[in-house]
Structure 1
Amino acid sequence: MAFEKGLVKSEKAFEQYTQINTAFADIVKNEFMTTWQWWFGIALFIVPWLIWFKYRKKDSTGRLLLAGLLTIIISLTIDLAALSLGLWSYPMILLPLAPFLLLPYHFSLAPVGVMFALQIKPRMNSLLKGIIFSAIAAFGGMNFFNAIDFYDPKSWSTLYDFVIFLSLYYTGYWITRMESFNNLDKVRTEKERD
């Protein structure tokens, strides 16, 4: 009985969600698409990747892309949890497919930023480099996005963003330093000898 009632409520909520998505699509089409902010957001999807492909450390591309993918997954997970708790929001909607997310941040800026931070001065103290990256991303980037209305932190502290960026950096750092990359190559070489 409770399960069927839950299904009915779920279907009703889904219909409301569909109506909300339609409203967001209308907002993007009629209000945002003609603004410089919308086009700037679209450029933030594309330009960081173009720059990274040109200036990436080519012999580390696989490791860096793995760090970037992990950054995407973790940043999306954190963001979805924070959005569902109402900790922050994204007033600027770029695509009605995901109206609650700042997609250039998740799919371009965060992963490319982490990948660049990892490849620049690879022998530098990782804690110092992580702090510098996190400070630029949190205190510079997030405050900039707040100023141009891409991001509304509500009562969320920029210091918390700093900790999130430091965690993203160190997750990427950890995955690029895994020795198992070399081990797979060694196993293949040993099999080729046999």
Structure 2
Amino acid sequence: MKQFPSYERVQHIQSLADTAGRDNWVYAVVFTYQWWILVALMIIPYIVWWKIVDRKNFFEITTYGLLVALFTGLLDAIGVELDIWDYKYDLVPLLDVLIVYDVSILPITYMLVYQYFQTWRSFAMAHVIVAFVFAFVFEPILMWLDIYHPSKWTHSYSFVGFFLVAIFLRWLMNRLIKKSKSF
């Protein structure tokens, strides 16, 4: 009969891993060129978005972006936890997810598509392109930069995921808007 580690043993191992991860970040990640790229990717999209966001629909667009950040952050955390992918470099050492993608790159891109492509058809077509670029251009670049390491994941899976997240969250936003108008 296989014996499993106790809760206390698991917590101890997790604590050691967390400490090692923070030490690695301090001594091997922060201020590397990859880290500076992540800093830029965190800040620049927000500057661009702030200049071009439709102020009349600011609340709706921002709500959609927050849903994207919440949903992609959750999916990213699940993927890392299940060892489907991992990140060698990150902006901060506190989370195992690629926070820059989850709270900047993806939400900003998705909000811009949401703002500019009003019909379902144009929205879906735009997101086919976005999903393709994220999966087959940006992911290989992140791999080349040694930031992103997929282990049980393919770019094709990412393509489908990027697309389905956008479609599902637009559908959800439409439902929320419709529901709010019925009150």
TM-score range normalised by the length of the shorter chain: 0.7 to 0.9
What is the match of residue 159 of structure 1?
Answer: 156
Q: How many residues align?
A: 178
Shift in Å at residue 155 of structure 1?
4.0
Aligned Cα RMSD in Å? 2.1
What is the match of residue 19 of structure 1?
Answer: 16
Gap runs ≥5 in structure 1: 1-5, 188-194
- Report the AA paired with residue 148 of structure 1: L
What is the match of residue 109 of structure 1?
Answer: 105
Paired with 1:140 and 1:181, the residues of 2 have a C-alpha distance of: 38
What is the match of residue 143 of structure 1?
Answer: 140
Q: 1:31-86 CA distances to partner (integer Å, 9 max, x unpaired)? A: 12231111111222222122111111111111111111111222122222222222
8 Å Cα contact 2:117-2:123 kept in structure 1: no
Aligned pairs for 1:27-46 (under 5 A) are 27-46=24-43
Q: Which has the larger radius of gyration?
A: 1
Paired with 1:10 and 1:140, the residues of 2 have a C-alpha distance of: 42
8 Å Cα contact 1:67-1:171 kept in structure 2: no
What is the match of residue 183 of structure 1?
Answer: 181
SS at match of 2:147: coil
Deviant stretches of 4+, over 3 Å = 175-179
27-36 or 160-169, larger mean C-alpha shift: 27-36
1:59 aligns with 2:59: no
Gap runs ≥5 in structure 2: none
- Report the AA paired with residue 76 of structure 1: G
Q: With structure 2 as the length reference, what TM-score do the two structures score? A: 0.86
- Report the AA paired with residue 40 of structure 1: I
8 Å Cα contact 1:48-1:112 kept in structure 2: yes
Q: With structure 1 as the length reference, what TM-score do the two structures score? A: 0.82
131-140 or 120-129, larger mean C-alpha shift: 120-129
